[in-house]
Amino acid sequence: MGRKSIRPYEEITILSLGNITNETKFQLFCKIKAKEEAYIILSDDHSESKFSLKDKKFLDVHIGDVVMAFGQKNGEEMYLDKLIKLNLDWSLLVKTRALEQM
């Protein structure tokens, strides 16, 4: 499911990890499920995706943090361009989004 937006990061807002399609730039709310030196796993409670960490630009995020992720999918590879750490309660965010969809 995609939504057109006037946000500065392209025109598409992806609402969940499972809906990211090929050749797409995305932004989404998610939380960090696992983090290692070579990869990071992001989850939105419905699906999760593994992203490789090729540089050191995501050092300030930790497991359990709620983030806004910006990236793109090219073929089978998904890349993160930016993670913005948010000061949000995940369960409250999920409940709010469920109410919005009613």
- Coil, strand or helix at 32: strand
Q: Which domain covers residue 88, as residue numbers?
A: 2-100
Identify the pLDDT of residue 66. 92
Identify the pLDDT of residue 32. 93
Q: Which residues of the chain have pLDDT under 70?
A: 1-15, 55-56
Count of domains observed in the chain:
1
Q: What is the CATH number of the domain that holds 59?
A: 2.40.50.140
- Is residue 40 within 8 Å of 31, Cβ to Cβ? no
Residue 72: strand pairing partners: 25, 79
Identify the pLDDT of residue 3. 53
- Is residue 32 within 8 Å of 67, Cβ to Cβ? yes
Identify the pLDDT of residue 34. 93
